[in-house]
């Protein structure tokens, strides 16, 4: 047949509209906050009819869920990077604090995106199971670090490895939320340093 499958321009003059929508949504969210995303405004900025969004996402919630998933994927990667490479401490508690600090840094560098990731209960009805994949990945990193620590005698009391992983997640999310709400004044350059100072006494690192 005569159709050209390889030509990038042959599919759509914007290239990959689904991807363009997600990227423009991130920008819009950054400007107007997690609540203010509007599909019509989004389409206007890209230069397509607003109805064409529905060719790529079932509805607004589906687009938002895709944006949230992109964010969790990046956040999980940042957490992994925090305990990969040189100058990573060997002390289990210190490693855990590092991972939490990387989480806090990502969230506070992308506050509106983080708002979309944690704000609306997107997968409450099980609509977007793939959203859980990077979230589980991030959580599993905490679990494996804690289990590694337990073999070395850390995090012995206070319940299971999961209990400890949840404690860290609860604390870092609370930290991020309070800094974001300006309940604590922290300069952007001090976000990680202050996080380490706050969490360390709780997990007993030196």
The correct pick among 24, 74, 161, 169 for binding its own copies (CB under 8 A) is: 169
Any residues with CB less than 8 A from the CB of 34 and at least 6 apart, and which? 112, 115, 116, 119
Closer CB to DNA, residue 21 or residue 93? 21
Tokens for 153?
Answer: 């005698």
The correct pick among 29, 48, 165, 198 for binding DNA (CB under 7 A) is: 48
131 makes contact with its own copies (CB under 8 A): no
Q: What residue 190 binds from its own copies, DNA, none (CB within 5 to 8 A, per partner kind)?
A: none
Q: What is the DSSP string of 63-120?
A: HHHHHHHHHHHHHHHHHHHHTSSSS---SHHHHHHHHHHHHHHHHHHSHHHHHHHHSS
Helix axes 92-109, 111-118, angle to 10 degrees: 100
Closer CB to DNA, residue 44 or residue 197? 44
Nearest to 99 by CA among 164, 181, 157: 164
Q: Please list every residue from 87 through 126 that binds its own copies, using CB under 8 A.
A: 118-121, 124
Tokens for 2?
Answer: 């005569």
177 makes contact with its own copies (CB under 8 A): yes
12 makes contact with DNA (CB under 7 A): yes
Determine contact, residues 27/6, Cβ cutoff 8 Å: no
Between the alpha carbon of residue 75 and those of residues 21, 56, 60, 83, the distances in Å are 20, 25, 23, 13
The correct pick among 2, 7, 125, 181 for binding its own copies (CB under 8 A) is: 181
The correct pick among 19, 27, 30, 51 for binding DNA (CB under 7 A) is: 51
The correct pick among 175, 191, 192, 205 for binding its own copies (CB under 8 A) is: 175
The correct pick among 55, 170, 188, 193 for binding its own copies (CB under 8 A) is: 170
Query: Measured between alpha carbons, how far is 122 from 110 in angstroms, rounded to an integer?
Result: 19
Q: What residue 14 binds from its own copies, DNA, none (CB within 5 to 8 A, per partner kind)?
A: DNA
Q: Please list every residue from 4 through 33 that binds its own copies, using CB under 8 A.
A: none
Closer CB to its own copies, residue 43 or residue 165? 165
């Amino acid at each position: 047949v005569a159709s050209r499958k390889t030509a990038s321009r042959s599919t759509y003059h914007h290239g990959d509209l689904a991807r363009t929508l997600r990227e423009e949504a991130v920008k819009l969210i950054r400007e107007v906050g997690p609540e203010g995303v509007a599909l019509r405004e989004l389409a206007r900025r890209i230069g397509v009819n607003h109805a064409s969004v529905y060719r790529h996402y079932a509805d607004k919630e589906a687009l938002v869920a895709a944006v949230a998933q992109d964010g969790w994927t990046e956040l999980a990667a940042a957490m992994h990077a925090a305990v990969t490479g040189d100058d990573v401490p060997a002390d289990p508690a210190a490693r855990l604090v590092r991972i939490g600090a990387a989480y806090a840094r990502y969230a506070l560098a992308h506050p509106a995106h983080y708002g979309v990731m944690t704000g609306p209960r997107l997968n409450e009805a099980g609509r977007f199971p793939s959203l859980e994949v990077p979230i589980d990945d991030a959580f599993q990193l905490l679990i494996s670090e804690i289990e590694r620590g337990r073999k070395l005698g850390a995090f012995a009391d206070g319940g299971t490895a999961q209990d400890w992983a949840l404690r860290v997640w609860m604390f870092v999310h609370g930290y991020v939320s309070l800094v974001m709400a300006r309940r604590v004044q922290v300069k952007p350059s001090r976000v990680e340093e202050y996080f380490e100072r706050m969490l360390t006494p709780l997990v007993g690192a030196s």
